[in-house]
Structure 1
């Protein structure tokens, strides 16, 4: 018993040392420039989108965006991203087809490729989010700052510094240090003393960084990045019927998330054989889907393009302007474009999943009399949990999105998110285990072999 208590206490010994205090000071200092860089990176993406889809057509004398226009920027996006993946170090970042990941260190030589692939893909209309590149760039910039002073950075210290930079960067996007920390910790799977060692400097970097992007808001007038959707109607207390809807929505979202990931992985296998041709083809098909949606519904192609981060408030506040057939076309088209982006481009999977879940909720509210905010909340929570496989983050992000309504619909969001998560996990086959790690079919009576133990 005494040994166990001592061992438990010793887990936190590194946190009491002077090197850890120095690490905290470094994290606080790094949070400032990384938050500023993240703020301007997100602003640059927004400016590229506005310039390409609004200012450029007008400057060319075409007036409003012509119906065929998405084909131009999306072909350019495919070309630039394909070149970045094919020729630049780091292959433009991790493929989002595997889902949301945290942890790891982006090496300095990979930073230009990650930034270029994100700016081209997200800025030019690909259905992918900015959170994964931000996490990679924030962590890579933090590591680069330490590496420039000391080339032989210890592995553990480098990982903690990189995590602090990622915390500061993603908190700029989410508008909340707590939300960013929660998302990264659940995705990394850390716990106990290890989680504390990473969490404290990460929170400190995110906290100091938040002061920077709040200050930049007042100085520039561009505004901060906030998840809260304004001007939503009030939500009402949950009913038994709505709990049954939460089960149904969770089941539907679980199947849909499994199908989207399955298709994305299947397409990625083929895309990796001829990267440049695949990214350009994915861009062209995405443009064709957006053009078809705009032609059939009479709505803007921007409904279907982009991550959905900035289109979500309009979808919910102008829900009466969307007919049920238009919403069904939007969900199908956005889902296919999402799969193409996951398979061939670089970015994060979070915001398109949020948008698709919200669109499904809006469609249900038209058909069944289910309250709009309640239906959208269940759809959002279920899609985040099913696509990211992070049920706690799904509940937190949905609550933040809905502001004052979040706590009212929280029980329903929990039910839909948990059902979608469990079903998505059950439908996903386990990863292949190398033959050297598999347990023998007929083990000896004396117990498992070391290889069998490792395989478990």
Structure 2
């Protein structure tokens, strides 16, 4: 299970192999597939445990702890000290533990370059503090780092000298398995990692097949653990989706409007995060505590003005998507607009200082904005919900195919009905966001160069270079 510097047809190093699919017929590739299938089991078990721990900590911090201290419920000011504690934990972790706590989420979704095992404790600790205490980021980036790091660590324990290409493919398979379990679909995970890592060309299938296998095996483990423990799967799902009618001409017009609005909102969120990131980096611990207080204050303001719980503003928004959709009649336009404002600012502040992923808050912001617009004539709530999610996702990530799939697959068969509208909104948002904000989005750090070396080749093992730093 190793990769050499030349292609299977004997080409010179750095040249394109004559038959890139020759790898599929080699014994080394079969060994790689077996390893990918095996690594999917512990990786998804670790991902399940990580998400289960977050699921236990969230209510423990925001419900059980205040009651144990004698409060009848959760005080409106409670997020302030909790987010300050989170800021201190994240700041200290980033400053003192290896791995920088994972990648900077303000720079996009980093894929590629699995972190070393020594960096994983810091990445996990920073993510737990971020997600459990209510900062507005998602779990996908830590899961990508955790899956890739565990997979690469396992292959290095089993085989002392491995090539850089083997490390890249195995790391991608581990990341693939972990994030696919969260997204609820190996195919959706495939598109996410394919677009974010910059893979392409003839080698795309050869590199992605081990990841698909690891994700498929891991999904079984993920589902089995959810059933056995009674905790559920923690996958991204929506229930009770209102029926979607066939797209209308006015809704195509709304797709243009939603695409433009999402591009400007997403660009504003990202620019503010990048502006704040520099002073946070210079004063890591006190600045992260200050950013936590800002997130807590935004949640408190929303609660005081609307009477809705602070958790609507806090957290990634993954679990709140279903509530937002099913409870649209209970939200006035004013409440939805204030929610978008407070959540968007909290999202931007969290991107600048905490550690986590950018996907789920973007989905929630787009969904809330879409639901607010659905109160206007000519726009159904299901179409608005889907278009908002896709347009905001692509504005933040610059991954158009992933954004379309994520916004439509979540809606089940209703998503197929509104997919043409989602495509228009995503394309408009993608183009406008590039024009006004530049290409910053997913951070592609491809460890595999598909136009050069093949990922697997039989033969003597070549020692690989030192593993690069983490990217969460």
Alignment TM-score, normalising by the size of structure 1: 0.91
Q: Separation in 1 of the partners of 2:31 and 2:439? A: 42
Alignment-derived partner of residue 376 in structure 2: 367
Asked if residue 98 in structure 1 is aligned to residue 98 in structure 2, the reply is no
Alignment-derived partner of residue 276 in structure 1: 285
Which of 145, 166, 181 is the aligned partner of 1:172?
181
**Structure 1 segment 218-257 matched on structure 2, within 5 A:** 218-257=227-266
Which of 18, 23, 35 is the aligned partner of 1:26?
35
Q: Separation in 2 of the partners of 1:178 and 1:367? A: 35
Quickly say closer, same or farther: Cα 1:358–1:151, change in 2 above 3 A. Answer: same
Q: Secondary structure at the match of 1:367?
A: coil
Counterpart contact for 2:400–2:430, Cα < 8 Å: yes
C-alpha displacement at 1:401, in angstroms?
1.3
Which of 74, 77, 97 is the aligned partner of 1:65?
74
Alpha-carbon displacement from aligned partner over 1:112-148 (angstroms, at most 9, x marks no partner): 0000000010111000000000000100001111122
Which of 331, 338, 349 is the aligned partner of 1:322?
331
Asked if residue 202 in structure 1 is aligned to residue 211 in structure 2, the reply is yes
Q: Separation in 2 of the partners of 1:269 and 1:363? A: 34
Quickly say closer, same or farther: Cα 1:261–1:177, change in 2 above 3 A. Answer: same
Q: Separation in 1 of the partners of 2:174 and 2:17? A: 29
C-alpha displacement at 1:172, in angstroms?
1.3
Alignment-derived partner of residue 24 in structure 2: 15
Q: Separation in 2 of the partners of 1:127 and 1:322? A: 21
Counterpart contact for 1:227–1:400, Cα < 8 Å: no
Q: Separation in 2 of the partners of 1:24 and 1:315? A: 41
Q: Separation in 2 of the partners of 1:55 and 1:215? A: 28
Alignment-derived partner of residue 453 in structure 1: none
Asked if residue 293 in structure 1 is aligned to residue 302 in structure 2, the reply is yes
Q: Secondary structure at the match of 1:406?
A: helix
Q: Separation in 2 of the partners of 1:19 and 1:193? A: 19
Counterpart contact for 1:228–1:400, Cα < 8 Å: no
Asked if residue 303 in structure 1 is aligned to residue 308 in structure 2, the reply is no
Alpha-carbon displacement from aligned partner over 1:170-192 (angstroms, at most 9, x marks no partner): 01111111111111111111112
Alignment-derived partner of residue 450 in structure 1: none
C-alpha displacement at 1:19, in angstroms?
1.3
Counterpart contact for 2:83–2:292, Cα < 8 Å: yes
C-alpha displacement at 1:8, in angstroms?
6.2
Alpha-carbon displacement from aligned partner over 1:330-381 (angstroms, at most 9, x marks no partner): 1011011001111101110000000000110111112335211111111111
Which of 35, 44, 50 is the aligned partner of 1:35?
44
C-alpha displacement at 1:402, in angstroms?
1.0
C-alpha displacement at 1:428, in angstroms?
2.4
Alignment-derived partner of residue 460 in structure 2: none
Q: Secondary structure at the match of 1:48?
A: helix
**Structure 1 segment 124-143 matched on structure 2, within 5 A:** 124-143=133-152
Q: Separation in 1 of the partners of 2:106 and 2:204? A: 26
Q: Separation in 1 of the partners of 2:363 and 2:431? A: 18
Comparing 354-363 with 218-227, which one deviates more in the overlay? 218-227
Q: Separation in 1 of the partners of 2:180 and 2:245? A: 30
C-alpha displacement at 1:320, in angstroms?
1.3
C-alpha displacement at 1:18, in angstroms?
1.4
C-alpha displacement at 1:269, in angstroms?
1.3
Counterpart contact for 1:228–1:403, Cα < 8 Å: no
C-alpha displacement at 1:398, in angstroms?
0.7
Q: What is the RMSD of the two structures over their aligned residues, measured on CA atoms?
A: 1.5
Q: Secondary structure at the match of 1:366?
A: coil
Alignment-derived partner of residue 150 in structure 1: 159
Alignment-derived partner of residue 400 in structure 1: 409
Counterpart contact for 2:184–2:237, Cα < 8 Å: no
Counterpart contact for 2:250–2:378, Cα < 8 Å: no
Comparing 396-405 with 278-287, which one deviates more in the overlay? 396-405
| Aligned residues between the structures | 427
Unaligned runs of 5+ in 2: 1-10, 441-472
Alignment-derived partner of residue 388 in structure 1: 397
Q: Secondary structure at the match of 2:244?
A: coil
Q: Larger % of helix: which?
A: 1
Q: Secondary structure at the match of 1:42?
A: helix
**Structure 1 segment 1-12 matched on structure 2, within 5 A:** 9-12=18-21
Q: Secondary structure at the match of 2:305?
A: helix
Alpha-carbon displacement from aligned partner over 1:83-112 (angstroms, at most 9, x marks no partner): 111011110000011112211121111100
Alignment-derived partner of residue 362 in structure 2: 353
C-alpha displacement at 1:430, in angstroms?
6.4
Alignment TM-score, normalising by the size of structure 2: 0.88
Alignment-derived partner of residue 271 in structure 2: 262
C-alpha displacement at 1:311, in angstroms?
0.8
Which of 133, 156, 160 is the aligned partner of 2:169?
160
Alignment-derived partner of residue 344 in structure 1: 353
C-alpha displacement at 1:57, in angstroms?
1.1
C-alpha displacement at 1:404, in angstroms?
2.1
